[in-house]
Every structure is written in structure tokens, then in C-alpha cells.
Amino acid sequence: MDRVDLVGDFGPENEEFLSDVCAALKESPRRLPSQYLYDERGSELFDEICELDEYYLTRAELEILRRAGEEICATLGPACALIEFGSGSSLKTRVLLDRLHDAVAYVPVDISRDHLQTTARSLVERYPDLEILPVCADYTRAFDLPDWAISPRRCVTYFSGSTIGNMNLKDSIDMLRQLGQVSGDEGGILVGVDLHKDSETLVAAYDDRRGVTAAFELNLLERMNRELGADFDMRAWSYEAEYDTERQRIEMYVRSAVNQCVEIGSKQFCFEAGERILTEVSQKFTLASFSALSEAAGLQVSKVWTDTADQFSLHYLEPA
């Protein structure tokens, strides 16, 4: 057996998936909802991305966690419950769990049901004395947290990677507020924040030589074919990434090579040759700009840790 039962399952079904896709494709400019990149295949591809030479983010965050782990865990406090939004394979969280010897529960929250169950199984085996409570959910929407066997002294939400940058600034503020509500007045929030740097390094991180990122982004079209009965011709689509210097963010697109129409459910969408669909963004911050974003969400930065190259940062936030 390689999976465990979920204690909460609020993951989107096909009807919701179809509705979200169609609504996003009607916008101008057209886009696709990035949370649906993470089906089981997408999650596997993202795990591969995290190991790429060009993708510095995971290495930098792991360096911070390994070097400053004891201090971070002391900041989180004793007998805490750790709740991770977008947990994926929980690779980085294991560094914390290895040091949080008195944690009472870990709640991995992820949209990919199958991937989450497989990851939860490995966590149960590695941490037999820790309550593991996996919840399948689109964390951008409301969902219920499970009850724990032992009440924690405080709750800490962990939003790892640069996921806070995958939203526009208004949605990022709303997400920080949601994280704060989950943690509560006595809790805290640990957020991974990618720092602004030269565009060459940034573009390489999101458009790798092996084409793994391209496969990850294009998998969303293949997922729509598999699950929604769409008829995207994968030979007629390509991937590209570019850096928007004004907005200081990476933008990821799939581009139509020809004039074509695609059926998705009962609807048809037509694309011109060269037309692009925005699949994902990755906002970059300075320490000051992220502090200002946190303040707009009613939070304050209590502590910051960066890697030795100052490429990435972990921020610990508390209610202002």
C-alpha cells in the first residue's frame, strides 16, 4: 500500500475544473488557472524541476532550512501544529520536522489527491509518532482543517517555495490574510519569498535546457484533454517564458503555432497563430517590498533568513 486515507477531501472535481478553465480563457488577455498544473503528472514534473541546475529556488530554501533550522524551529515554538499550503512532496518540510521534535501534528494541504496520498504514506513511515493529517484542497478557496488528537500550543502555516509570487499582488495580500486566519492570533506564518535578481538567471530558472518546465506547463493542456475531453493538438503548442521588467515578474505562456479552434466541454475557443495563453507568473520581491505586502495584509515581519547568495528568503510573520 503506497497511499493513506485523506482526513479532508475538498479537491476540485471536473465540473469545477471545467468552469474555472472556461472562465479564465474568456478573460483578456487569456489565461489558465495555475492551480490545475498540479495533477499527479504535473506534481511529478515539478519535483523534477526542483532538481534542475537552473532552478536555484529549492536549493536556496533548503540551504536556509538546514543552516538556520534550529533557530527557525525555536521561533515556531514548542508543541506546534505545522500546516503547509501546497505541500507537494513535503521535501523541505522534512528538514523542519526532523528538528521539531515536539510538534503535535503536520497538516499537508495539496490539490493533487494521488500525489498527496503517496507523500503522506512516506511521512507516516518516517514520523510514526507525529500525527499526519493530509487534506486535499485548492487552498485558494475555503476548506476545513481537521481536528488533532492533541491540541497544539500554537499553529504555524508554512507557504514554501515562491508560491506567494504565483499570484497577482492583490491575491497575494488575500492569501497572506488567509494564512493569518488559519494560524490565529497567537500563531505565525513561515513564507518562502524569491528575491529579485538579474533577468538572465530568472529566465533560465523557468525555461530550462532539458525542457522539463515546458513539459510541466504543457501538461495542463494534456490534462484538459484527459479529464475534460478537450482536443488540444499538442503538436500545435509551445512554451515560452519571459521577464517583465516593469512588474518584476516571470511570465509563463503556451503559444499557438497555427490558427486553430479547440473544443473544451461544450464550448469552443479559437486561437490565432502566435496567440499566447498565460499559464503562470512568478513575482519577485525585495525584502522591503515583501515587508510592505505583509503590512497590507495586517501582518508584520518578525524574522528573515536568506541563503548565502541572497537569492531566496524565508520570512516569519506575525499579526501586526
Convert the pLDDT of each residue in 113-127 to its tens digit.
888 999 999 999 999
Q: In DSSP terms, which residues pair with 268 in a beta bridge?
A: 263
d(CA 189, CA 290): 14
Return the pLDDT at 46.
94
Three-class secondary structure of residue 5 per DSSP: coil
- Assess whether pLDDT exceeds 50 at residue 1: no
Cell 472535481 sits on residue: 13
- CA 76 to chain CA centroid, nearest Å: 21
Each residue's pLDDT tens digit, 131-175: 999 999 988 888 888 999 999 999 999 999 999 999 999 999 999
Each residue's pLDDT tens digit, 14-71: 899 999 999 999 999 999 999 999 999 999 999 999 999 999 999 999 999 999 999 9
279, 259 Cβ separation under 8 angstroms: no
Cell 497511499 sits on residue: 3
**Domain range summary for the chain, segments of one domain joined by +:** 1-320
Each residue's pLDDT tens digit, 258-312: 999 999 999 999 999 999 999 999 999 999 999 999 999 999 999 999 999 999 9
Each residue's pLDDT tens digit, 304-313: 999 999 999 9
d(CA 215, CA 318): 38
Laid out side by side, the sheet with 237-244 consists of 237-244, 249-256, 276-283
- Assess whether pLDDT exceeds 60 at residue 228: yes
**If residue 312 lies in a helix (H) or strand (E), which one and from where to where?**
strand 312-319
d(CA 142, CA 181): 11
33, 74 Cβ separation under 8 angstroms: no
Query: With bands split at pLDDT 50, 70 and 90, how would you rate the model's confidence at 72?
Result: very high
Q: At what angle do helices 212-228 and 40-49 cross, to 10 degrees?
A: 180
Q: What percent of the chain has pLDDT over 90?
A: 88
d(CA 18, CA 37): 14
Three-class secondary structure of residue 298 per DSSP: coil
Count other C-beta atoms under 10 Å from residue 170's C-beta: 9
**If residue 47 lies in a helix (H) or strand (E), which one and from where to where?**
helix 40-49
Strands 260-264 and 267-271: what pairing?
A: antiparallel
Written as nine digits, the cell of 65 is 532550512
CATH of domain 1-320: 3.40.50.150
